[in-house]
Structure formats: structure tokens, C-alpha cells
A = this chain, B = another copy of it.
Amino acid sequence: MIRVTIYNEYRHEKSEESVRNVYPNGIHNAIADFLRADDIEVKTVTLDDPDCGITDELLDNTDVLLWWGHIAHHEVPDSVVAKVRDAVLKGMGMLFLHSGHHSKPFKALMGTTCNLSWREDGAYERVWVIDPSHPITQGIDKFIYLEHEEMYGEPFGIPEPEKLLFIGAYESGEVFRSGCLYQRGNGKIFYFQPGHETYPTYYNKDVQTVIRNAVRYLVPSYREKELICPWVPRIDGK
């Protein structure tokens, strides 16, 4: 059983009718609804839970953590960020969604600005498959078509992706590295660009397929108990 936890900031949905209309139960529940499966169990936590709902025990029992945040990244306490980062370095998989590019855990793990160019004009996007052989792109044709998405454009301030799986192309002409895979410590990390809060992106079947594939792919093979820098004896015992 794959144990998934979804973190959602869950603010837009409460304060903006235009968002609530799309995601009445919050983005986290929209994602949980399609993710739950025979081999996947899902918990959800939100920013306004105590300590964002993120405890050591939860992280120890999470195989893959999804992260959606936007306007309140700065409200996530640094202590929670450190816990999440360390859980990834120990082995937990992590999927950052859309505006999660600017979340504290993503920036902490990447070490870069994670800046990009952006514009909210709701034009269409095509998210092109770059590697049709990867487990994460299985079930997707040449591209995912999204009638409305926020424009995220290059340059994207990330380390060179270890595998680039998707490139987004917008009606307005820009391009973006929309699906980027990394390993940090023992954990696998995937960034996936679609998912602006005012558009029904997470109801798109192809987006759901990618997220489901990613969850299965990000499951750890190995988890370290403690992150230490050990003194070691000589091999021969000298």
C-alpha cells in the first residue's frame, strides 16, 4: 500500500468564490478523490492545521508527499520545512505541484531561486511529452491539452533537471520545463507545472494520470533512519 499525504495551503478556496466554485472541497480533496486506489491510501493536511498537520510520525508513515501552496508559502514554519526536507533526504518521495515551485521545501531542496516568468491570462497550454518511455508519462499521448492555464515561462531558476519529462507550450508563445525529475539524498522529487487554482486542471484525466504515475514512481526503495556524518573505523580495524 502506497501511503500518500497531500498538503494543501487551502486559503484560496476559502477566500475566493472563483476558486471555491472549481474546488468546493479544496484542491487537496480533488486530488485525493482521484488518487485513492487499491494500492494507494491518502491523507490530507492543510496550512491551518497545527504545524500544518505535519508531524514526524506522519512523515515517517508517508511514502509520497504532494505539495500545493501559493499565497502563504511564508506562513509555513521553518521547522516544518526542515522536517519535510529531511524526510525527503531520508527517502520520502515528493511531488511539487504548480505554484509549489516557490514553496519553502522546494527551494530548500533545490538550493536555487526557483523563479520563473508568469502571467495569468488563462490562455491554453499544451504540455508535451519529452520522454515517452518514462513511467510517469505512460498513458499520455503526445501532449496534454489544457484549455486554460496560468503562463509559467522560462527562464526557470532550477538546477538542470536530471530528467526532463514535459515541456509546456502556451498559446501566448512561451515555453516552460513543466515536468522535472530530481533525486536529493535518498528521495525522488518531481515538479509538475499544471494546476492553477482558478482552472479545473485537476479534473483533467491526463493530469490525473501523470499525478497517479508520479506517486507510484516516487515511492522510496530505501529510507535512512537518521541523517548523520559518521566517523568510521578503518576497514581492517587499525
Which A residues are within 8 Å of any B CB, using their own CB? 85, 89, 91, 102, 108-113, 115-119, 121, 126, 128-135, 138, 153-157, 159-160, 162-164, 167, 169, 172-175, 177, 182-187, 220-222, 224, 227-236, 238
Q: Shortest CB–CB separation between residue A82 and chain B, in angstroms? A: 12
- From A133, which residue of chain B is reached at the shortest CB distance? B186
Inter-chain contacts of A231 with B (CB < 8 A): 117-119
Inter-chain contacts of A126 with B (CB < 8 A): 173, 235
Cross-interface CB contact of A185 among B113, B163, B164, cutoff 8 Å: B113
Q: Shortest CB–CB separation between residue A150 and chain B, in angstroms? A: 11
| Additional pairs, 8, CB under 8 Å, beyond known A138-B221, A163-B183 | A116-B229, A117-B232, A118-B230, A119-B232, A128-B174, A133-B183, A133-B220, A173-B236
Q: Are A174 and B169 in contact (CB under 8 A)?
A: yes
- From A188, which residue of chain B is reached at the shortest CB distance? B133
**Beyond A111-B110, A154-B167, A185-B157, is A133–B221 a contact (Cβ under 8 Å)?**
yes
Q: Which 4 A/B pairs are nearest by Cβ-Cβ distance?
A: A133-B186, A115-B229, A111-B111, A109-B111
**Beyond A115-B227, A232-B118, is A155–B184 a contact (Cβ under 8 Å)?**
no
Q: Are B155 and A131 in contact (CB under 8 A)?
A: yes
- From A116, which residue of chain B is reached at the shortest CB distance? B229
CA distance A108 to B132 in the complex (A): 22
Inter-chain contacts of A172 with B (CB < 8 A): 234-236, 238
- From A221, which residue of chain B is reached at the shortest CB distance? B135
Q: Are A160 and B164 in contact (CB under 8 A)?
A: yes
CA distance A163 to B182 in the complex (A): 11
Q: Shortest CB–CB separation between residue A125 and chain B, in angstroms? A: 10
Q: Are B111 and A85 in contact (CB under 8 A)?
A: yes
CA distance A234 to B174 in the complex (A): 9
Q: Are A232 and B153 in contact (CB under 8 A)?
A: yes
Inter-chain contacts of A129 with B (CB < 8 A): 154-155
Q: What are 12 A-B contacts defined by CB distance under 8 Å? A: A89-B157, A109-B112, A111-B111, A113-B229, A115-B227, A115-B230, A128-B175, A129-B154, A130-B156, A169-B173, A172-B234, A174-B232
